[in-house]
Chains A and B, each alone.
Chain A
Amino acid sequence: MKITELTAVTLGKKIKAKEITVAEAVSAVLEQIEAVEGDVHAYVTRKDKEKVLKKAEEIQAKIDAGELDGPLAGVPVAVKDNMCTEGVLTTCSSKILSNFKPTYTAEAVKNLEKAGAVIIGKTNMDEFAMGSTTETSAYGVTRNPWNLEHVPGGSSGGSCAAVAAGECLFALGSDTGGSIRQPSSFCGVTGLKPTYGTVSRYGLIAYGSSLDQIGPVAKDVTDCATILEAIASYDKKDSTSVKREDYDFTSALVDDVKGMRIGIPRDYFGEGLDPEVKEAILAAAKVLEEKGAIVEEFDLSLVEYAIPAYYVIACAEASSNLARFDGVKYGYRAKDYEGLHNMYKKTRSEGFGAEVKRRIMLGSFVLSSGYYDAYYLKALRTKALIKKTFDKAFDKYDVILGPAAPNTAPKIGDSLSDPLKMYLGDIYTISVNLAGLPGMSVPCGRDAKGLPIGLQLIGDCFKEKNIIRAAYAYEQTRKYEAPKLAKTAEGEAK
């Protein structure tokens, strides 16, 4: 097996056992990037090869000295480009940050560095995480490694495609309305969005502050639990960070779901769901049932209100969060302008792409004088009701099971023409963010075109362990599948 086909935890073990050096691991990844990046285009910024290899040596020395002995020590990782990395370009896939080098590193990334992971580069995304296809990036589309004519999903499309294509061993993504789970589903990888407040948002360039969470993208459940354990922390720099009672997510990696109560919302299986997706999800539920889980259908309700509430809240917050991009302190400034306000307008109009502008306009409108109550407060009230329906559901169930997306990855170019339709694709993921819940996408098959399907498992707040356990148990019944890329690097793992 090639190094790039290993899981992060397996590679970490082999490095610790001195079967593979960190430099070999890094080189294997860099070779794979050389081979496939032209097709996939998962990265916005790749760190300088020499620098990465030097870092690999430093980490190797620390491992050899026994200073680093965590499961991710020496493992190459890619980071979504909305997480600040000191001295390394951080663009949010936007022209407006085309030259921005932060003076600080996001807390989650710092935690990874502490764990000894080697950062390879920054992955492509929908501009400012606004989109579901990674097509709104100012730096070109990322292609789905399973079929280069299809999108990888979004907004963490670069991270998910990079993991699927072996261009890193694992990656960090961020999830505001499904941006980890949906592209994980489209790329056939495993992604986890933790409970709000579990991973620090310090250094994550905000889209919708009350919804954003950083999470892992990897090949399997073991990796995800291990990575989450490394990046989750209570951070005094993030006021919304939560001091949790448990951080030992890997303790839930147990192949046992006997007696686990799993609810399937009937509302998730109505109109708009691809029959092939439906079949795969129900088959996965069956597997868990056969393993001893108590699976039943129930009515979640309010599902159709999550998307409109989400777009009001996320766009309102975004309109304010993105106001700071104005050509004054950092980033792009328009070349020609007359006076201050014209500088602002030109900078922002030239610097932001269409989807970002669309959401800023909508967000500014719903907050503007006379509309605040009707839109923003209404959405916050809806959010409260949605949270309540989940609370009720979790009185009865340990895990809610459903699809991560209504269909498999669409073709490049098919989605952007109709934004509303694209928004509707987030129907199963968005309410999870509104209610602050943890959610996970696990591969559960492929459609007739060979495109991956993702199973979504949703847990109650702070109950990541429930979904990790269910996902792990399910995963034991199938093998990880990697896409067969036309061009790929040579080399076998020792």
Chain B
Amino acid sequence: MANVISDETMEYVGILAKLELSKEEQKAARKDMERMLDYIDKLNELDTAGVEPMSHIFPVYNVFREDVVTNGDDRDNMLKNAPAEKDGTYKVPRTVE
């Protein structure tokens, strides 16, 4: 069955992903997404009942770090990449009104 994505859904996904598409971009993205989802629906042909979802390929577990401080202060170096900084902090638009 062909997937139909509404404008509302596109807008909603835009809010989740923090992307603002122009009208044209949105139209194209919507078409692409519908096509991709139609294609992805192919997976429904497969009977996966009883199959455990596989996140990790290998059964590697309990990868731990000991609780020892080894990191120093590299703030000034890291802040050089900040688009805006102030007094050793990252400056952003006001978060609450």
CA distance A242 to B57 in the complex (A): 11
Q: Which of B19, B35, B48, B57 is within 8 Å of A196, CB to CB?
A: B57
Number of residue pairs A-B, CB distance < 8 angstroms: 158
Is the Cβ of A328 less than 8 Å from the Cβ of B90? yes
Task: Judge whether B83 is part of the interface by a CB distance below 8 angstroms.
Answer: yes
Q: Which of A330, A343, A461 is within 8 Å of B82, CB to CB?
A: A330
CA distance A383 to B58 in the complex (A): 13
Closest to B57 in A: A436
Pick the most buried of A242, A302, A365, A382: most chain B CB atoms within 10 A of its CB.
A365
Contact with B along A330-344 (1 / 0, CB 8 A): 111100010111111
Contact with A along B33-77 (1 / 0, CB 8 A): 101100111111110100111111110100101000000001001
Is the Cβ of B13 less than 8 Å from the Cβ of A358? no
A189 CB to closest chain B CB (Å) equals 27
| Surface stretch bound by B, among A289-297, A346-354, A395-403, A475-483 | A346-354
Total contacting residues, chain B, CB less than 8 A: 51
B78 CB to closest chain A CB (Å) equals 6
Closest to A327 in B: B83
Task: Judge whether A455 is part of the interface by a CB distance below 8 angstroms.
Answer: no
Is the Cβ of B48 less than 8 Å from the Cβ of A382? yes
Task: Judge whether B7 is part of the interface by a CB distance below 8 angstroms.
Answer: no
List chain B residues, Cβ under 8 A from A323: 17-18
Q: A329-B90, A354-B25 are in contact. Are A362 and B43 (CB under 8 A)?
A: no
Closest to B93 in A: A340
CA distance A239 to B19 in the complex (A): 31
Is the Cβ of B17 less than 8 Å from the Cβ of A364? yes
List chain B residues, Cβ under 8 A from A352: 19
Q: Which of A305, A328, A387 is within 8 Å of B57, CB to CB?
A: A387
How many interface residues does chain A have, given as a range?
35 or more
Is the Cβ of A242 less than 8 Å from the Cβ of B60? yes
Pick the most buried of A364, A375, A435: most chain B CB atoms within 10 A of its CB.
A364
Is the Cβ of A384 less than 8 Å from the Cβ of B81? no
Q: Which of B12, B33, B56, B65 is within 8 Å of A240, CB to CB?
A: B56
Task: Judge whether A345 is part of the interface by a CB distance below 8 angstroms.
Answer: yes
List chain B residues, Cβ under 8 A from A342: 93
CA distance A368 to B5 in the complex (A): 14
Task: Judge whether A300 is part of the interface by a CB distance below 8 angstroms.
Answer: no
Contact with B along A236-256 (1 / 0, CB 8 A): 100110100000000000000
Is the Cβ of A305 less than 8 Å from the Cβ of B46? yes
Is the Cβ of A364 less than 8 Å from the Cβ of B13? yes
Task: Judge whether B29 is part of the interface by a CB distance below 8 angstroms.
Answer: yes
Q: Which of B21, B40, B94, B95 is within 8 Å of A312, CB to CB?
A: B40
A390 CB to closest chain B CB (Å) equals 10
B87 CB to closest chain A CB (Å) equals 16
Is the Cβ of A339 less than 8 Å from the Cβ of B48? no
Task: Judge whether A311 is part of the interface by a CB distance below 8 angstroms.
Answer: yes
Is the Cβ of B42 less than 8 Å from the Cβ of A360? no
CA distance A358 to B31 in the complex (A): 11
Task: Judge whether B2 is part of the interface by a CB distance below 8 angstroms.
Answer: no
A19 CB to closest chain B CB (Å) equals 41
Task: Judge whether A210 is part of the interface by a CB distance below 8 angstroms.
Answer: yes
A270 CB to closest chain B CB (Å) equals 16
Closest to A420 in B: B35
Is the Cβ of B92 less than 8 Å from the Cβ of A340? yes
Q: A340-B94, A345-B20, A357-B21 are in contact. Are A308 and B43 (CB under 8 A)?
A: yes
Contact with B along A73-116 (1 / 0, CB 8 A): 00000000000000000000000000111010000000000000
CA distance A25 to B25 in the complex (A): 47
Contact with A along B8-27 (1 / 0, CB 8 A): 01101110111111000100
Task: Judge whether A319 is part of the interface by a CB distance below 8 angstroms.
Answer: yes
CA distance A179 to B59 in the complex (A): 25
Q: A357-B29, A362-B36 are in contact. List 18 more A-B contacts (CB 8 A).
A: A196-B57, A308-B40, A311-B40, A326-B18, A328-B82, A330-B81, A339-B93, A345-B19, A349-B19, A349-B21, A354-B25, A358-B33, A361-B17, A377-B53, A379-B40, A382-B46, A387-B54, A387-B57
CB<8 Å pairs between A and B, sample of 10: A103-B81, A308-B40, A309-B43, A326-B18, A328-B82, A342-B93, A365-B9, A379-B43, A380-B53, A420-B36
